[in-house]
Structure 1
Amino acid sequence: MPHVQIQNVSKTFGLKVNGQVLTARALDGVSFDVEQGEIVALAGPSGCGKTTALRVIMGLESASSGAVMVGNRAIAGCGHDRGMVFQHAELLPWKSVLENVKFGLAMKGVPKSELDGMAARYVELVGLSDAKDRRPHQLSGGMKQRVGIARALAIDPEVLLMDEPFGALDSQTRETLQMELLAIHERTRKTIIFVTHDLDEAVLLADRVVVLNAGRVQEIIPIDLGRPRRDIRAVQTNPEFMRKRTMIWEALHDATPAEDRVTIRRSA
């Protein structure tokens, strides 16, 4: 049985424009499964519903219809079975690296006597032991994202959700963190769902890429590159890498024009 099941999920928002109440459809019958230990990327143009889908899976947004199942349980709001890494780490500025990671553990109810040891292990996992006492303003962008990853992993979620976690970083830092994520996945075998606009990143990291368009699943593309992927250069020079990247690009650019997803519901 799949670890995560997104079952015919739709999401609509109400908007009031010029005295009229409009209904905007962000997701329209989205369905796909994610296997245990799999990495799945959500790709598509801006506004296609990628982040909304991730937020519904996390429980930050409620689906208008359909269901999300994690481990054969229907989700209802946020839970410690899912951890989220945002595009910007959103750290507590008055707390140190270690304290930011401890915060999530404390919210989960981990006994105080265990907080330091558990947090330290995850800080070490992301390579920040030497910076554990620094405050966020003393960290680079890449280091902040490492803290965000450590904080999400520390609660030991069944599923790790990532919303363009490396999108705001320079190319060198992004590549370093991509390698870190691959190494963490190799050690933990966490189920990961992440949003990206970067086609190279999607192929490098994912086992499958779900291409979204206008709030719908347009195509699901398997990435047959095997694991582990420890040598990024070897992966990127594999002919299969470019073939899959081209397939995703074509799926994005061959999409039929999206119908208008905003409809008038009623007059004010």
Structure 2
Amino acid sequence: MAALQRDAWTAPAVLEADAPHVSITGLRKDFRITIAGQSKRIPALCGVDFAVRKGEIVAVTGASGCGKTTLLRIIMGLETATAGEVRVSGKRVRGCGYDRGLVFQHAELLPWRTALANIEFGLMTKGIRQPLRRRTAERFLAMVGLQNARDRKPHQLSGGMKQRVGIARALAIEPEVLLMDEPFGALDAQTRESLQAELLDIQAATGKTIIIVTHDLDEAVLLADRVVVMERGAVKDIIEIGLPRPRGPLAEMRARPEFGRARVHLWELLRHLPETKQEVGLR
């Protein structure tokens, strides 16, 4: 990956001392479905509370169906909460905004646009005009090491390359907070570890606040400062990860005793959690 230059980035907004960058308070989300002609309520989130500090990486994990992705979508503004609120830099989230960027599990690139043009798309919706839009897209494409693939369309890119474009697209709008929904889950092990290392480089260079949903225990411990463990739509525990930042090579991080302790703790919490079925909450 190309070397990252700290002075090439726009400085993020300054928060008051000790103020959380992202605060999630009393967050509830109910879905309603119809079964045999009757409307049933399914609680997806049941009073979620936690805060994320500026420049922190927080991983969210838990059994399938525990509400991780629903939580991320509410933070992004793609879903509305039934109760509670999310605030970013003190401002209440009331829909999507350019202060947040989202990286999906699959890159979801526009198939008729080149890698460069996909990155430009978000800038275009933000109202950035040419030639600044082109220069900005080129800078972020180079940042993820794909400057030589600028004219390729998605079908000409590998899975890892598509995810790099997705990350560059999310970062190009210069959000305060980067949200990631299992961004490396569909990739092979070698590509996944390569992108994990690149994400740490990006965070070290930009100081971005990152919230990442993941099922991968190693990934949660290697990337995060803290791990939020969810169970049945609620926060079961929050684990502090003792690994230093900036992180060194991932192989070295795995060899540290802090990694082993945090992973064992996380595994002990998760291995007893039930998988949330659709029937949970029907009453």
- TM-score range normalised by the length of the shorter chain: over 0.9
Q: CA deviation at 1:263?
A: 2.6
- In 2, are the aligned partners of 1:49 and 1:212 still within 8 Å (CA)? yes
Could you tell me which amino acid in structure 2 is paired with residue 219 of structure 1?
D
Deviations 1:38-95 (A, max 9, x none): 0000000000000000000000000000000000000100000000000000000010
Q: CA deviation at 1:256?
A: 7.9
Deviations 1:141-191 (A, max 9, x none): 000000000000000000000000000000000001001101101111100
Alignment correspondent of 1:142: 160
Q: Does 1:233 align with 2:281?
A: no
Aligned partner (choices 86, 90, 96) of residue 114 of structure 2 = 96
1:12 match: secondary structure: strand
Q: Does 1:262 align with 2:278?
A: no
Q: Distance in 2 between matches of 1:165 and 1:237?
A: 25
**Which is further off, 159-168 or 230-239?**
230-239
- In 2, are the aligned partners of 1:118 and 1:154 still within 8 Å (CA)? yes
Q: CA deviation at 1:250?
A: 1.1
**Which is further off, 223-232 or 144-153?**
223-232
Alignment correspondent of 1:165: 183
**Which is further off, 255-264 or 180-189?**
255-264
2:131 match: secondary structure: helix
Unmatched 5+ residue regions in structure 2? 1-18
Aligned partner (choices 185, 188, 198) of residue 180 of structure 1 = 198
Unmatched 5+ residue regions in structure 1? none
Could you tell me which amino acid in structure 2 is paired with residue 20 of structure 1?
Q
1:27 match: secondary structure: strand
Q: Does 1:67 align with 2:85?
A: yes
Q: CA deviation at 1:255?
A: 4.5
Q: CA deviation at 1:253?
A: 2.6
- In 2, are the aligned partners of 1:10 and 1:64 still within 8 Å (CA)? yes
- Identity fraction in percent: 58
Alignment correspondent of 2:34: 16
Alignment correspondent of 1:57: 75
Q: Does 1:194 align with 2:224?
A: no
Deviations 1:241-266 (A, max 9, x none): 011011111111344897963234xx
Q: Distance in 2 between matches of 1:149 and 1:189?
A: 15
Q: CA deviation at 1:20?
A: 1.4
Aligned partner (choices 118, 125, 133) of residue 115 of structure 1 = 133
- In 2, are the aligned partners of 1:42 and 1:193 still within 8 Å (CA)? yes
Q: CA deviation at 1:140?
A: 0.1
- In 1, are the aligned partners of 2:66 and 2:275 still within 8 Å (CA)? no
Q: CA deviation at 1:228?
A: 1.2
Alignment correspondent of 2:222: 204
Q: CA deviation at 1:17?
A: 1.0
* Normalised TM-score (structure 1): 0.96
- In 2, are the aligned partners of 1:183 and 1:230 still within 8 Å (CA)? no
Q: Distance in 2 between matches of 1:166 and 1:256?
A: 24
Q: CA deviation at 1:233?
A: 0.7
Q: CA deviation at 1:19?
A: 1.5
Q: Does 1:219 align with 2:237?
A: yes
- In 2, are the aligned partners of 1:182 and 1:230 still within 8 Å (CA)? no
Alignment correspondent of 2:14: none
Deviations 1:109-161 (A, max 9, x none): 11222111000000001110010110000000000000000000000000000
Could you tell me which amino acid in structure 2 is paired with residue 96 of structure 1?
T
Q: Distance in 2 between matches of 1:166 and 1:19?
A: 40
Counting only pairs closer than 5 Å after superposition, residues 233-252 of structure 1 correspond to structure 2 as 233-252=251-270
Q: Does 1:42 align with 2:60?
A: yes
* Normalised TM-score (structure 2): 0.91
- In 1, are the aligned partners of 2:66 and 2:276 still within 8 Å (CA)? no
